[in-house]
Chains A and B, each alone.
Chain A
Amino acid sequence: MLAALAAIPVLIAVAVRLSSTVPPGRGPAFLDRITQNGLFVAVTAMLVAVPLFLPLTIGVVAGDTIAGEASLGTLRYLLVAPAGRVRLLLVKYAGALAFCLAAPITVALAGAAIGASLFPIGPVTLLSGDVVQPPEAALRLVLIAAYLAVSLAGLSAIGLFLSTLTVVPVGAMAATVVVSVASQIADQLPQLEWLHPWLFTHYWFGFADVLRQPVLWDSFASNAVLQAGYVAVFGALAYARFVTKDVLS
């Protein structure tokens, strides 16, 4: 799955390289900057992956945590080992979190690598107009990846909870992805404006703030608080469900 994620920046970079010119203002943001600076491949790829591809991979990983073991039948052997239900849940969530971090970092690294090999690397002009050198720019890429990792923590908790509800991993995976898409749609509807700050996808695109000089930490902080809330609520639900669950598969 990480390989699939790494394929996104490669696809973007090769497509841009093969086409003669990119008309400014069309396609994903930053796309027209790639030919001048390869580092923008990473930024563009992360931007493109946020709405669907990243949630999709998180859905697969988080939805599989408990339901996958249950469908294989290995859950009962882990529990009689005994792994301890709370301990198993924590380990599984830690695994999902590790993937949340690995996924955007993979996109960033692959993007930087393919960008550096196909395009020139140079000083980067930030959204605030300041110019930073490539090492500083690479740090900003890591910051974006960290921002996305935090953004996905809430969705992982939702996936973990859904995974305790079923023995069909595909069901939990699909449900997790659907939840993330539904949340993004709700975030688009002005009629639901009162709801927007509570949606876990609300700050997903706020990572542009780390591309300013000085870095604006507001959205990073709000996002972290919101995600922590989702982790607490859905972690508690997953706990309540899993410790009382009859393991019959």
Chain B
Amino acid sequence: MSAAGRMAAGLTIETQGLTKRFGRQLAVDNVDLAVPHGAVFGFLGPNGSGKTTTIRMLLGLAAASAGTVSVLGQPMPQRLQEVLPRVGALVEGPAFYPFLSGTANLRRFDAASRQGMPGTRNARVAAALERVGLSHAAGKRVHAYSLGMKQRLGIANALLSPRELLVLDEPTNGLDPQGTREVRSLVRSLAADGATVFVSSHLLAEVEQICTHAAIMSAGRLVAQGPLEELRRGGEMRIRLLTPDAGTACEVLLRLGMAPERGDAGAGISAAGISAAGRHGAVGHEAGTHRAGSAGPDGEVVTAGAAVAARPVDEAAGAGNPQQVLPKPDLPHPEDIVAELVAARVRVRGFSVERESLEERFVALTGEGFDVAQ
């Protein structure tokens, strides 16, 4: 976030140079988070990228090796006793006393806080259970709960009192589709009430649906952060062109600094090697084949991609992802591309601009494959 933006909107969570070292391993490396007030903030990253460790430091469960944390405008963990009653949290999955009922568990956690007013406890526990749809199972022992029910109970625990900030670590883990939808609407309603919601997740579709802002962690470092729209724009742009004059079109596109690849009408695809968009070739192929098939035998598909404005949050992030440091600042506007094509007598039968999805952006920033980041 820019300095101007930081001043305009108060920050609910701010970390500077936050670092956590476990022995020789750097779990969180120099993270500068800036979560604006009132945002629904998606905290993304592959497994093992340091999300939960960061959350633990935000909540004062673990001490930072270096750097500062401020939550709700107060330094943490120094002002923990004032800050945490205003924060609801679900950290690394729910945890309960299995031999106690859902109600008894919530009462116990509420009693642990000095701010939990005993007079209103029953009403607040009932309201929180109602809000997550667990009223019917309130008296059941937690060991009889399903994973999704425990998850709901964990969210209920975060909602025991009015909160200004909610930190939800993987809130939809283990939930069925209805539960996921409910959590989404719950997060929206919390945000509508003015709370800031900090959601960590690896489910990108979910984040795309509910978040206003996001940050992406990879191997302990923050590789991107900002409003969701800005993050998406930070990715590459692809155009898709349907034309019988593929050869000429490719020449024009190459001249414009793009990396075209040709997809043949029903048959195979002759992919042109591309630099910046190399990772996403496969995505383009599938879609291209599909479109071409429906376009008729005389059409040919050309897709072209380029990193329009790769905007890593800082130099360090760029250094870690070399393919992102290929900015082509003078890329033409889509309408200019069409104009150039037409000027070169290319018959344009179809033209579309596709932005990278958050998922593609995520993979581009964090790497692909099953290897957990070390």
Chain A positions within 8 Å of B, measured between CB atoms, are 72-74, 76-84, 87-88, 244, 246-248
Contact = CB atoms under 8 A, between A and B. Distances in A.
Interface in B89-127: 89, 91-98, 109-110, 112-114, 116
Contact of A79 (B61, B94, B110): B61
A80 B63 contact: no
A72 B97 CA distance: 7
Given A82-B84, A82-B113, A73 B61 contact: no
Contact of B110 (A74, A81, A246): A81
B87 interface: yes
Contact of B95 (A73, A82, A246): A73
A76 B63 contact: no
Interface of B: 56, 59-63, 80-81, 84-85, 87, 89, 91-98, 109-110, 112-114, 116, 157
B84 A246 contact: no
Given A84-B81, A247-B61, A74 B96 contact: yes
Contacts, number: 65
In the A-B complex, the 9 residue pairs with the smallest Cβ-Cβ separation, listed nearest first, are: A73-B95, A246-B62, A82-B84, A83-B112, A81-B112, A81-B113, A247-B61, A78-B112, A80-B89
13 contacts: A72-B95, A73-B95, A74-B96, A76-B91, A76-B92, A77-B89, A77-B157, A79-B61, A80-B84, A83-B113, A84-B114, A246-B56, A247-B62
Contacts of A74: 95-97, 109
A216 B81 CA distance: 48
Given A246-B62, A247-B61, A248-B62, A77 B91 contact: yes
A80 B60 CA distance: 8
Contacts of A80: 59-61, 84, 87, 89, 91
B63 A73 contact: no
A222 B109 CA distance: 40
A72 to B, nearest CB: 6
Given A82-B85, A248-B56, A77 B95 contact: yes
Contact of B109 (A72, A78, A248): A78
A197 to B, nearest CB: 39
A199 B210 CA distance: 62
A246 B114 contact: no
Nearest to B154: A77
Contacts of B89: 77, 80
B60 A79 contact: yes
A244 B63 contact: yes
Contacts of A81: 84, 109-110, 112-113, 116
Nearest to A246: B62
User: Which interface residue of A72, A77, A80 has the most chain B CB atoms within 10 A?
Assistant: A80
Given A77-B95, A80-B91, A81-B116, A247 B109 contact: no
A46 to B, nearest CB: 30
B82 to A, nearest CB: 9
Given A82-B112, A83-B113, 19 more contacts: A72-B95, A72-B97, A73-B94, A74-B96, A74-B97, A76-B56, A76-B61, A76-B91, A77-B89, A77-B112, A80-B91, A81-B84, A81-B110, A81-B112, A82-B113, A88-B112, A244-B63, A246-B63, A248-B56
A246 B61 contact: yes
Contacts of A82: 60, 80-81, 84-85, 112-113
Nearest to B105: A74
A248 B97 CA distance: 18
Contacts of B93: 73
Nearest to A73: B95
Contacts of B60: 79-80, 82
B147 to A, nearest CB: 14
Contact of A77 (B62, B63, B109): B109
Contacts of A247: 56, 61-62
Contacts of B87: 80
A88 B113 CA distance: 10
A73 B109 CA distance: 12
A103 to B, nearest CB: 21
A84 B157 CA distance: 17
B75 to A, nearest CB: 15
B61 to A, nearest CB: 4
Nearest to A83: B112
B252 to A, nearest CB: 57
